[in-house]
Amino acid sequence: MKKNSYNVRLTNNIFSENTAIVRGGAIGIFHPETKLKLFTKSLKENQPCVINNTIISNTSLNDGGGLRFDGYQRPPIIFNCIFWNNEAPDGKDIKNFSSLPLVVSYSDLDTNMIVGLWTGVGNIDEDPLLLDPQNGDFHISENSPCAASGIDSLYVNESIFCCPSLDFENDPRPWPFTLMPDIGADEIDEVNPGYPDFKETNNHTLILNNYPNPFRDQTTIEFTLPREEKVTLKVFDLTGREIETLIAGYLSKGDHTFILNSENLNSGIYFYLLSAGDVSITKKMVVRK
């Protein structure tokens, strides 16, 4: 797709097995310098966005196997995107031909395959574990590192950019709704989430967090109790199946910590549920091995 545009918004697209000679194997965004004066006002209000796209196995014979940008103002905001197996002599995933930095955040790509100026946070470089892309199934698997690894909104240059509320198939995003969005065009659709049975109250008298998250070997679960209570702390998988009971008994008022080792956990998404008296709260954690 080639576009002369200052405010194009690309969301929930799958770009695969495209070939171009110039300006990006899948996406090329170009701002003609001769039109800058005509668009000065709109440039202050609009910005190209590339959000929740799956961009794999595209080829450019020149540069920018996945995406190429060439412009003079308002470089694209890119987040929640998968760039994988794209090819080009220069910038296999992304080529920025501009003197302005792109924003590339919360995406799955090898940042060494970005050529040109860029900035961003939250990126990962792992096989997205697509189910069957050769036969057109671009869903990520349950254990994909892209699951719940996106972001619902990004604050850049005093503006907020939000991910779409529906995915490629018009399913709700995120799903389950208690998580962050998946990276890519499609939310996981194989999961039968069990979290409604947890009856989470979101009562703010309980404070619950874990760090680091995602984690590889171990994570520290911290929680604060407003009073002495009978407490249970349990871990569930995405289907709602109980994996382990970490704590069961009375605890005193105040701050508590628990070290959870991942030796009995596979890579993937889990919930941990803290119940104290008649109040409960659920959080999610991600194991990446």
pLDDT digits (tens, 9 = 90+) for 197-251: 444 444 446 788 888 888 889 999 999 998 898 999 999 886 677 889 999 999 9
DSSP string across 51-93: ES-EEES-EESSB-SSEEEE-SS-PPEEES-EEES-B-SB-SS
CA distance 210 to 282: 11
> Distance of CA 241 to CAs 131, 195, 283, Å?
23, 10, 15
pLDDT at position 208 is 87
Q: Is the peptide bond before 214 cis (omega within 30 degrees of 0)?
A: yes
Largest CA distance in the chain: 72
The strand pairing partners of 29, in sequence order, are 3, 69
Instruction: Report pLDDT for 205.
Output: 62
User: What backbone phi and psi angles, to 5 degrees, belong to 29?
Assistant: -115, 125
User: CATH for 195-287?
Assistant: 2.60.40.1930
Domain(s) of CATH 2.60.40.1930: residues in the chain: 195-287
Structure tokens at 76: 């694209």
Q: What is the pLDDT along the chain (289 residues), one digit of tens a residue?
A: 555 566 788 999 999 999 998 778 999 988 765 455 444 444 445 688 999 999 999 999 999 999 999 887 788 999 999 999 999 999 999 999 999 999 999 999 999 999 999 999 999 999 999 999 999 899 998 889 998 899 888 888 878 788 888 899 888 888 766 568 899 999 886 544 444 344 444 444 678 888 888 888 999 999 999 889 899 999 988 667 788 999 999 999 999 999 999 998 988 778 888 888 878 787 878 888 7
Q: Quick check: pTM over 0.75?
A: no
Question: Counting beta carbons within 10 angstroms of the beta carbon of residue 94, is it exposed (0 to 12), middle (13 to 18) or buried (19 or more)?
Answer: buried
Closest CA to 180 of 48, 279, 52, 93: 52
Residues 188, 193, 199, CA angle at the centre, nearest 5°?
145
